[in-house]
Amino acid sequence: MLSKKTKYGLKALTYIARSEDDVPQQVNVIAKSEQIPQKFLESILLTLRKSGILGSKKGKHGGYYLRKEPSEILMTEVMRVLEGPIAMVPCVSLNYYEKCDDCIDEATCSVNKLMIQVRDNTLEVFRNTTLADLSAV
């Protein structure tokens, strides 16, 4: 299942992408529009800012804005920040590889084999989708 964090994060990014460029968008406005608990959204946008996808401006008339063009923000990046590794098992993760405790031989492991295929197909989608695609109406 997709976590609410990711779901909310994607919706918020889409909201920002659809709004006027270079005008910081405020958490409470996004939260109301997208029906997201405000405090929860705060922490999510903070994560996105720390990862470099969003920029922020503090104080009155502050808010969040995109650091790049929507067409340059790949889903691989967004999903990794929000949801974590794309692979469903660490032993097929490109960025966070880890050997399974229980697995004796990856070469003959059926789970490994199947999950590599799932990973590749999912990656294909995320590599070919940008925030611009999501925010297109």
Q: Which is nearer to DNA, 27 or 75 (CB)?
A: 27
The one of a copy of itself, DNA, none whose footprint includes residue 10, by CB under 5 to 8 A per kind, is a copy of itself
Distance separating alpha carbons of residues 130 and 33, to the nearest angstrom: 22
Distance separating alpha carbons of residues 125 and 44, to the nearest angstrom: 23
The one of a copy of itself, DNA, none whose footprint includes residue 99, by CB under 5 to 8 A per kind, is none
Q: Which is nearer to a copy of itself, 18 or 67 (CB)?
A: 18
Distance separating alpha carbons of residues 54 and 122, to the nearest angstrom: 24
Binding site for a copy of itself (CB under 8 A): 1-2, 7, 10-11, 13-14, 34-36, 75, 88-89, 101-102, 104, 108-111, 113-115, 117-118, 121-122, 124-125, 129, 133-135, 137
Instruction: Output helix, strand, coil percentages for the chain, rounded to the nearest 5.
Output: 55, 10, 35
Distance separating alpha carbons of residues 129 and 124, to the nearest angstrom: 9
Q: How far is the CB of 98 from DNA (least distance, A)?
A: 13
Q: Which is nearer to DNA, 46 or 91 (CB)?
A: 46
Within 8 A by CB and 6+ apart from 53, the residues are 13, 66, 67, 68, 73, 77, 78, 81
What are φ and ψ of residue 65, in 5° steps? Answer: -145, 160
Q: Which is nearer to a copy of itself, 26 or 122 (CB)?
A: 122
- Residues found near DNA in the complex (CB under 7 A): 3-5, 8, 24, 26-28, 37, 39-40, 42-43, 45-46, 49-50, 56-64
